[in-house]
Amino acid sequence: MSYAKTLRRGDLVEVKGPDEILKTLDSDGALDHVPFMPEMLEFCGRRFRVSRRVVKSCSSGSRSSMRGFRTDDVVLLELRCSGLAHDGCQKGCMIFWRKAWLRKVQDQDPVSDVSEAGIRRLGARLKTMTAPSRYFCQASELLKATEPLTRWQKVGKCFSDIRAGNCGTLEMVRRLATGLFWKSRKKLVGEYARGTCSSTPTESLKLQVGDWVDVKPIETIITTLNDVGHNRGLYFSPDMRLLCGTRQQVARRLDKIIVDGTGEMRPMHNTVCLENSLCGCEHVAVGGCSRDEFTYWREIWLRRPSDSSS
């Protein structure tokens, strides 16, 4: 029986013990190019609900694309990477979980014991670097673990999302309609947020976690962008317009992140993530994906509230 038929959204799973997981890993501490990272050790023996099956996933960076895992055995548990074992990477990626690392359980099943010795043995197999300036993690290996999808494969994956229980039919219709609208608009009139800057400006607000900010109007943000909707290489995507004019709270600063597919640690400047601001992937890709990356906000697109209500 395929994994897709045995594990669906909402199912209760237990992360297997460290010795069981160790048997599945190669010499790099990975299974089919998906590393079991040191940040995942704390979850061994614990139980979580499956949030969705990973039918397709975006990759960001210079080779941004929609991709699919070669085998249908990857799920998400609403757990994000802390980055603590990777020099404090602040990307906060959703962690991918292979079938072989999980077991489906019932509430009444006894909880498995996890030994500290087993944790140490598993931890000794895991690596975080491939070179002095190259990190090894699920983001760095994403292009190796997945393959690009053709246009028709992307459409087929939308039906797979429905069958997997990731979303309903009406939700997928909405996603497809949204993506079609923005793709058509881009072809006809260009980027939604298209500025005229040849060298885009920057601004530092020195924001910290918990600070309240007002998102500037889209008319103001456009003055900070170039003709392809970027500010110093960072894209202002169409879904971000939905927060313009609203008050939001800073969820995290972004000072450094590991780049998908390369393992490079890239410095970030004057950039933050806002609470509940996740990638609106369906605005730029067919049907969206399950990865739920944080949206990155330049501080020049925000302002500190001028009143005391915050």
**What tens digit of pLDDT does each residue of 39-79 get?**
999 999 999 999 999 988 888 754 457 889 988 899 999 99
Question: Across residues 210-238, what is the average pLDDT?
Answer: 95
Query: Average pLDDT of 286-300?
Result: 87
Residues 280, 239 contacting (CB under 8 angstroms): yes
> Is 17 in contact with 45 (CB distance < 8 Å)?
yes
Q: For residue 199, which amino acid is it? A: S
62 vs 260: CA distance, rounded Å: 9
Mean pLDDT of 297-301: 98
Q: Could you tell me which residue, 180 or 3, shows the higher pLDDT?
A: 180
pLDDT 10s digits, 102-157? 999 998 998 889 999 999 999 999 999 999 889 999 999 999 999 998 888 988 88
Average pLDDT over residues 270-286: 85
* Cα(53)–Cα(9) distance, integer angstroms: 7
The answer to whether residue 18 scores a pLDDT higher than 90 is: yes
Note the pLDDT of residue 5.
52
Q: From residue 114, how far is each of 15, 117, 210, 257 by CA, in Å?
A: 10, 9, 35, 31
Query: Mean pLDDT, to the nearest integer, of 295-299?
Result: 96
| Positive or negative: CA dihedral 38, 44, 48, 50 | positive
Q: Is the confidence at residue 4, as pLDDT, over 80?
A: no
Q: How far is CA 145 from CA 82, 139, 260, 262, in A?
A: 21, 10, 12, 13
State yes or no: pLDDT of 240 exceeds 80: yes
Q: Quick check: 308 pLDDT over 90?
A: no
Higher pLDDT, 309 or 232: 232
Please check the confidence at residue 2 and state whether its pLDDT lies above 60. Answer: no
Strand intervals (E) in 144-217: 146-148, 212-215
d(CA 147, CA 8) in angstroms, rounded, equals: 23
Cα–Cα distance for residue pair 35/97, rounded to 1 Å: 9
The residues facing 274 across adjacent strands are: 250
| pLDDT score at 286 | 74
The phi and psi torsions of 79 (rounded to 5 degrees) equal: -120, 130
The pLDDT, as a whole number, for residue 62 is 44
Report pLDDT for 220: 97
Confidence check: pLDDT of 310 > 50? no
Q: Please tell me whether the overall predicted TM-score, pTM, comes out greater than 0.95 for this model.
A: no
The C-alpha atoms of residue 82 and residue 87 are separated, in whole angstroms, by 10
Q: How far apart are CA 79 and CA 71, in angstroms?
A: 21
From the list 71, 63, 75, the residue with the least C-alpha distance to 11 is 75
Chain segment 81-108, per-residue pLDDT in tens: 999 999 999 999 999 999 999 999 998 9
Q: For all residues of the chain together, what is the average pLDDT?
A: 90
